[in-house]
Amino acid sequence: MDSNKISKPDIQADKEGDFIRFAISDANLPTGTNLQEAIQAIQDVLERRLSSLGIRQSPEGDNPFNFEPVSNTDLYLMFTKNRNKSELKDIISKLQLGGNPPLLTRPPEIPEGDIRKY
């Protein structure tokens, strides 16, 4: 894998059902990046992007998804209502994640290029 790249998320399954896995390696982050801070930043970006797709956390605690950190390098995005692989692939494509770390924080509606214009 190229350095300074975030892997595209993939779909995994366990006895609970299918979920989205983010493999985050400190070897693929820019030098000096704290892995735990990067994972938290990815969670924040995911939560905002899921919200823009209409999948929102509820203040009442009836949440449609949760994050489960697994080991030091894996983050699972699990949905409370089981979703099939096709639905998860669609969500992944709409989240527009993966690639160089600056893309993680770029809102999906801003095209690649000179972000300072926006």
Residue 92 lies in a domain: yes
CA distances from residue 53 to 5, 7, 96 in whole angstroms, order as listed: 25, 22, 12
Give the number of other CB atoms < 10 A from CB of residue 38: 20
Tokens of 100: 């160089």
Residue 18 lies in a domain: yes
Tokens of 27: 């070897």
Which pTM was predicted?
0.73
The pLDDT value given to residue 114: 45
User: What is the extent of the structural domain holding 96?
Assistant: 10-106
Encode pLDDT of 97-116 as tens digits. 765 554 444 444 545 554 44
Residue 47 carries which DSSP code? Answer: H
Encode pLDDT of 13-41 as tens digits. 988 889 999 888 877 777 787 888 888 88
Q: How confident is the model at residue 57 (pLDDT cuts 50, 70, 90)?
A: confident
Task: Please count the structural domains in the chain.
Answer: 1
User: The domain spanning residue 86 has which CATH number?
Assistant: 3.30.70
Q: What is the mean pLDDT of residues 63-79?
A: 88
CA distances from residue 100 to 1, 2, 25, 59, 95 in whole angstroms, order as listed: 12, 10, 13, 33, 15
